[in-house]
């Protein structure tokens, strides 16, 4: 029986190998694109979900911030529910060497804009521009904070000015309230990043209570001391939150009068934060007092805003 050798066709094996390699490459390329498409779709869906969550939470956070600020204004001025409060936004326009005051539109009432030169000359008093024009103009504007003007029967019932200063770590944003007779009615820190137990103490009621009751004449001399706070005054300040104004005054009025001309007692170990808030309060009040002489007569017929309960 003779052996039979298989016939080998030259090049057939190479062709088959090449075809197999080409098929494998095509299959691998297709698989790669499927993976890329799957990952792209997954990332797009994830981004859409995260974007929706961000928009929803950002809107909620903004609404919560506004409610908190409205509540702070009402508490600082002791306003009754439904009091009329006018919000005024202040801007500096370096290109025009001007200060711009904008009253946002409220319900059916149109917005209003007052523009003053730095020397106090009135440049414009008219309707607030529309959204597109307002956005264009905003590129030239630098925020100087907001003012809240409370009125009762057409007369001022109190003011709240927003200010900020540079603390030990970052900015300290605050509200300072003035009564209609130009006494400090309250100070409220609304945003800060100071250290807990140190600079963060400037946001506590007992520290902020040191400013209350000081009249306008004492504001330019407002300063900070590192001397220890008298214990009787510390106790009085800690008793103020939650106490009726009349009851607290009857108990501690003599102490408040004694301290009215004295500096603000710094938080131990946090003099920078204490001075930052005090300097900010002083500058904010003096700036508002000067500007009120210009804008006050034009804003005594305000656009009413209902305070949130």
Q: Which of 54, 285, 79, 56 is nearest to 175 (CA)?
A: 285
- pLDDT at residue 79 greater than cutoff 50: yes
Say what the pLDDT of residue 10 is. Answer: 53
- 25 versus 217: the higher-pLDDT residue is 217
Q: Which of 256, 258, 244 is nearest to 184 (CA)?
A: 256
Assigned domain for 257 exists = no
- pLDDT at residue 139 greater than cutoff 90: no
Say what the pLDDT of residue 36 is. Answer: 79
Assigned domain for 99 exists = yes
Number of domains in the chain: 2
Say what the pLDDT of residue 194 is. Answer: 87
Q: Tens of pLDDT along 56-70?
A: 676 666 667 667 777
- Residue that finishes a domain, picked among 55, 77, 99: 77
- pLDDT at residue 131 greater than cutoff 60: no
What is the pLDDT confidence band of residue 306, given thresholds at 50, 70 and 90?
Answer: very low
Q: Tens of pLDDT along 23-50?
A: 555 566 777 788 877 888 888 887 777 7
Residue 60 sits in which domain range?
11-77
Say what the pLDDT of residue 44 is. Answer: 80
Does 138 lie in the same domain as 108? yes
Which percentage of the chain shows pLDDT scores above 90?
40
- Residue that finishes a domain, picked among 46, 77, 108: 77
Does 104 lie in the same domain as 207? yes
Does 99 lie in the same domain as 64? no
Contact between residue 306 and residue 82 where contact means Cβ atoms under 8 Å apart: yes
Which percentage of the chain shows pLDDT scores above 70?
78
Contact between residue 275 and residue 224 where contact means Cβ atoms under 8 Å apart: yes
Assigned domain for 119 exists = yes
Does 92 lie in the same domain as 71? no
Say what the pLDDT of residue 49 is. Answer: 79
Instruction: Tell me the pLDDT of the chain averaged across its residues.
Output: 81
Contact between residue 174 and residue 277 where contact means Cβ atoms under 8 Å apart: yes
Assigned domain for 181 exists = yes
- Measured in degrees and rounded to the nearest 5, phi and psi for residue 304 equal -75, 140
- Residue 138 CB-half CA count within 13 A: 11
Q: Tens of pLDDT along 281-305?
A: 999 999 999 889 889 888 864 433 4
Assigned domain for 2 exists = no
Assigned domain for 72 exists = yes
Does 130 lie in the same domain as 271? yes
Does 201 lie in the same domain as 69? no
């Amino acid at each position: 029986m003779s052996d039979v050798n298989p016939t080998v066709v030259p090049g057939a094996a190479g062709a088959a190998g090449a075809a197999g390699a080409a098929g494998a490459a095509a299959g691998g390329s297709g698989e790669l694109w499927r993976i890329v498409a799957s990952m792209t779709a997954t990332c797009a869906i994830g981004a859409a979900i995260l974007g929706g969550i961000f928009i929803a939470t950002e809107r909620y956070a903004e609404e919560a911030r506004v409610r908190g600020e409205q509540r702070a204004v009402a508490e600082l001025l002791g306003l009754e529910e439904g009091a009329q409060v006018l919000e005024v936004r202040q801007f500096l326009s370096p290109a025009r060497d001007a200060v711009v005051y904008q009253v946002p539109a409220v319900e059916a009432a149109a917005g209003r804009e007052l523009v003053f030169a730095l020397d106090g000359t009135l440049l414009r008093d008219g309707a607030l521009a529309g959204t597109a024009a307002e956005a264009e103009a905003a590129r030239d504007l630098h925020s100087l904070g907001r003012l809240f003007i409370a009125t009762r029967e057409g007369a001022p019932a109190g003011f709240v000015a927003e200010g900020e200063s540079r603390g030990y770590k970052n900015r300290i944003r605050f509200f300072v309230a003035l009564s209609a007779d130009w006494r400090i009615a309250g100070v409220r820190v609304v945003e800060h990043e100071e250290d807990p137990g140190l600079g963060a103490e400037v946001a506590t009621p007992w520290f902020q209570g040191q400013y209350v009751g000081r009249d306008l004449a004492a504001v330019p001399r407002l300063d900070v001391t590192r001397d220890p706070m008298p214990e009787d005054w510390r106790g009085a300040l800690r008793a103020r939150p939650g106490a009726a104004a009349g009851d607290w005054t009857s108990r501690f009025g003599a102490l408040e009068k004694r301290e009215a001309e004295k500096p603000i007692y710094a938080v131990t170990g946090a003099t920078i934060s204490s001075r930052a808030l005090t300097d900010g309060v002083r500058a904010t009040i003096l700036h508002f007092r000067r500007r009120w002489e210009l804008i006050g007569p034009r804003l005594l017929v305000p656009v009413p805003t209902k305070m949130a309960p």
